[in-house]
Amino acid sequence: MNLEAFVHHFRSTFPDLEGSEILVALSGGADSTALLHLFNQANLGLTLHAAHVHHGARGIEADQDAQFCRALCRRLGITYTQIPLNHDLPSNRGREATWRAQRYAALERTAADVGATAIATAHHRDDVSEGVLLQLLRGAGPRAMAGIHTRDRCIIRPLLPFSASEIREWLRGANLSWREDSSNKSPEHLRNRIRHEVLPFLEGISPSIRTHLVRLAHALADSEGCMAQDLEDRDLWIDPWHPDGGVPVEAVARMPRALQVRWLHAQIARVGLSGVTHRQGEMLSGVLSGSIPALNLAARWTLRRTGGRLWLEPGRAISAYSLNLGAGEVDLPVPGWYITLRETTSDDTPNRWTFPISGHGPLTVRCLQPEDRFEDGRRPSAVLRAFLPRHLRRIWPILFDGDKLLWIPGVAADTVAVSGPRIVEVTRR
């Protein structure tokens, strides 16, 4: 590896980022230190910032890492931000996964604060080969073994074509120092055992094993990319918070088996869940065939089959609410929805999401109560059962004028014709 190879790779892989502001995730280790120096020496027109996430769990060694990073940035004239990590936060995801999520969230906040377009991390080719074995030993599937992406939203990884030994060789040739993390040698971590025991053993059998593993990751990534595009083209995504948000069971059932499982992974990721187990992937076919009514997912979410459609039911209930509606916009407790009271215009035509108001009295928006009735005697609970999935019925907004039930947005209105100078509109962001 040399500076010219790095610059060529960056320009060909990230042409849109030349001349932009980049936040470098700087640990002080060899890889991130090399990345910062390479960026600093490259003629790419970049404005550099560095952020060091301070892991207090490693005591004085962590403090020394932070001091090294701060001094390095001062010497290079690069803006430096130190981010303390709260490693005591409870989580059911495991310590390393929790820290990783916190670290990326903190880096994204810092990037926004300094105006950086992208966050550069120092993952390299050996991380890919180690990751394939790590996921294999954990029983993961092809999606997890597809490796680390060169670009993932605002995260870029410019060192992926280069090995750890090439990076260290470049640092030594440039007479540059770095920090060594003693925890990287601890056999308590599975990745360290793969790095120091498993891979060297496999190299004794197959000297090109690292190259083979990287090729496998790339092949899996290509397959995953094709399936991801296929799913986007099909556009069969459940919206848990919309009355029409379910998807037809048959449309998912017609997919090839591998694509069904990939759909489940992608679908739960869209609502912020972390992953699908092998067992959950197997049980999906039972939901699609109707042999089981529901599939329990992470964080108490449920995939449920009802009325020929698939729904995602959230694991955390929304509390009962009552909101006074005045002029302007009010956020509803149902995620993504808001309600607006405004004067009517000539362009306003009544539809399922708008309702004209004749009076000027106080209006209330609240969720269903057992005694609620339309003036014609209809029970709104029966109407809600007919039109809404069960997890939305109790929390869906209902418009009242005093005690008079006027409107269930998107579902039903009072049978008495109403017209007037104001209009209530419910909108999805």
Q: Which parts of 314-421 are beta strand (E)?
A: 322-325, 328-331, 337-343, 354-357, 363-366, 398-401, 404-408, 412-413
Q: What is the mean pLDDT of residues 349-376?
A: 86
Q: What is the CATH number of domain 3-217?
A: 3.40.50.620
Architecture of domain 237-313: 2-Layer Sandwich (3.30)
pLDDT tens digits for range 392-427: 999 999 999 888 898 999 988 765 545 667 889 999
0.85 exceeded by pTM: no
Residue 33 has pLDDT above 70, yes or no: yes
The pLDDT of residue 89 is 54
Residue matched to tokens 């986007």: 232
Cα(274)–Cα(335) distance, integer angstroms: 19
Cα(244)–Cα(246) distance, integer angstroms: 6
Token pair listed for 230: 């296929």
The pLDDT of residue 319 is 93
Alpha-carbon distances of 182 from 29, 185, 186, 383, rounded to whole Å = 11, 6, 7, 64
pLDDT tens digits for range 160-205: 999 999 999 999 999 999 998 888 888 888 999 999 999 999 999 9
The pLDDT of residue 57 is 67
Token pair listed for 361: 């009295």
Residue 348 has pLDDT above 80, yes or no: no
Cα(124)–Cα(161) distance, integer angstroms: 7
Q: Residue 349, SS3? A: coil
The pLDDT of residue 129 is 96
The pLDDT of residue 346 is 65
Can 3-217 and 237-313 be said to share one CATH topology?
A: no
pLDDT tens digits for range 126-157: 999 999 999 999 888 888 899 899 998 899 99
Q: Quick count: other Cβ atoms within 10 Å of Cβ 123?
A: 23
The pLDDT of residue 115 is 95
The pLDDT of residue 418 is 57
pLDDT tens digits for range 237-268: 999 999 999 999 999 999 999 999 999 999 99
Q: Where are the domains of the chain?
A: 3-217, 237-313, 322-428
pLDDT tens digits for range 308-334: 999 999 988 899 999 999 888 999 999
Mean per-residue pLDDT of the chain: 91
Alpha-carbon distances of 413 from 183, 195, 323, 376, rounded to whole Å = 64, 65, 19, 11
Of 58-67, 295-304, 368-377, highest mean pLDDT: 295-304
pLDDT tens digits for range 350-361: 788 998 887 777
Q: At what angle do helices 209-234 and 125-137 cross, to 10 degrees?
A: 80
Cα(306)–Cα(390) distance, integer angstroms: 9
Q: Quick count: other Cβ atoms within 10 Å of Cβ 15?
A: 8
Q: Which parts of 268-333 are beta strand (E)?
A: 294-296, 302-306, 309-313, 322-325, 328-331
Residue 347 has pLDDT above 80, yes or no: no
Q: What is the DSSP letter of 375?
A: T
